[in-house]
Amino acid sequence: MVRVNGQTVGSIEKGYLLFLGVLQGDTEAQADWLADKILKLRLFESSTGKINDQTIGEVGGGMLVISQFTLAGDLSGGHRPDYTAAEERGRAEELYTYFVDILRKSGLRIETGQFGAAMDVALINEGPVTLLLDK
């Protein structure tokens, strides 16, 4: 669940919580690749108990996509994060929206936060499986 100013703006049940950071130079082709990869990931257990056997579509899951420029933070130079690798706000929002639109075409439930807002994000992490995908 994600809240902005105390109001819930996005929520799913079973599925993925995606934090999307857009870096300078990222492209639509990378967003296409990332969406395809996420939709085809086999992270869910089958009814027979086999792990990593089913996709999010096969289990009827949804996705909550949160814009997260702080993923571009670089701590190599000291104790304050340097966010200069993050894409400019306008272009970042375009790519974020593009990515979300690709996911919505899958027919799955896709919820979002509010781009650029201070958000409170809550989750129950079953598993847990946390992955970093980068192209």
Q: Judge whether 69 counts as a catalytic residue.
A: yes
Q: Are 94 and 29 in contact (CB under 8 A)?
A: no
pTM for this prediction: 0.94
Catalytic residue among 54, 69, 99, 112: 69
Q: Are 61 and 48 in contact (CB under 8 A)?
A: no
pLDDT at 129: 86
Which segment of 70-84, 93-107, 117-131 scores lowest on mean pLDDT? 117-131
Q: What burial class does residue 103 get, using C-beta atoms within 10 Å of its C-beta: 0-12 exposed, 13-18 middle, 19+ buried?
A: buried
CATH top-level class for 2-121? alpha beta
Domain ranges of the chain: 2-121
The 10s digit of each residue's pLDDT in 18-47 is: 999 999 999 999 999 999 999 999 999 988
CA distance 33 to 54: 19
Q: Judge whether 68 counts as a catalytic residue.
A: yes
Which segment of 16-20, 50-54, 107-111 scores lowest on mean pLDDT? 50-54
